[in-house]
């Protein structure tokens, strides 16, 4: 009798654990293991903490058991413009079809370092690149009202 009760209790616990198993809402993932370690990972999860020492960094996330998207709509106004010539040796011309005072130009090098930040004052604005070394640069035109509203261009600077 005790074995039967114990068996039923064990089966109940196993079925409860199985029924409440977590599911992962992620775009990709995997599992690796060797004789000394195991690692499971997923892509697309919210990051919860980062642990690091001198030589290693571990970022931990969590498995999302249920995901309910309530709703989020964000419409970014398209910035209508032309940027030319590309490649260039001296100046880039920016032509805007909108109020120019709402925008600014940020020039970045290939490492992401900001080289210049210039407000746009006219519908047709020139950006001087003659003092820059030959190479690739990123020109970002950003709305002052909503920093997420931006157009980005890779500009090739020649000699």
- pTM (predicted TM-score): 0.51
pLDDT in tens, 105-157: 999 998 989 999 988 899 999 999 999 999 999 998 888 877 777 788 899 99
In the chain, the percentage of residues whose pLDDT exceeds 90 is: 25
Question: In the prediction, which pLDDT does 130 show?
Answer: 92
Domains in the chain with CATH codes: 23-72 (no CATH), 81-157 (2.60.40.10)
Note if the bond before 85 is cis, omega within 30 degrees: yes
Separation CA 106–CA 139 (nearest Å): 6
pLDDT digit string, tens, across residues 34-56: 877 777 766 665 555 667 788 77
Residue 31 confidence (pLDDT) above 50: yes
Residues 6+ apart with CB under 8 A from 56: none
Q: What local confidence, expressed as pLDDT, does residue 8 receive?
A: 54
User: How far, in Å, CA of 141 to CA of 117, rounded?
Assistant: 10
Cβ burial of 95 (10 Å; 0-12, 13-18, 19+) is middle
Tell me the per-residue pLDDT of 80-91, one tens digit each, with 9 for 90 and over: 788 999 999 999
């Amino acid at each position: 009798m005790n074995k039967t009760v114990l068996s039923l209790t064990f089966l109940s616990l196993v079925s409860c654990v199985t029924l409440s198993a977590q599911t992962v809402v992620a775009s990709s993932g995997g599992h690796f293991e060797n004789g000394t370690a195991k690692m499971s990972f997923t892509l697309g999860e919210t990051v919860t903490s980062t642990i690091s020492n001198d030589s290693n960094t571990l970022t931990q996330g969590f498995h999302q058991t249920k995901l309910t998207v309530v709703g989020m709509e964000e419409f970014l106004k398209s910035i209508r413009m032309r940027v030319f010539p590309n490649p260039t040796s001296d100046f880039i011309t920016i032509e805007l079809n909108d109020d120019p005072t709402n925008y600014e130009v940020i020039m970045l090098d290939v490492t992401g370092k900001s080289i210049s930040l210039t407000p746009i004052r006219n519908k047709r604005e020139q950006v001087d690149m003659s003092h820059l070394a030959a190479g690739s640069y990123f020109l970002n035109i950003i709305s002052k009202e909503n920093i997420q509203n931006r157009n980005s261009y890779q500009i090739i600077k020649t000699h």
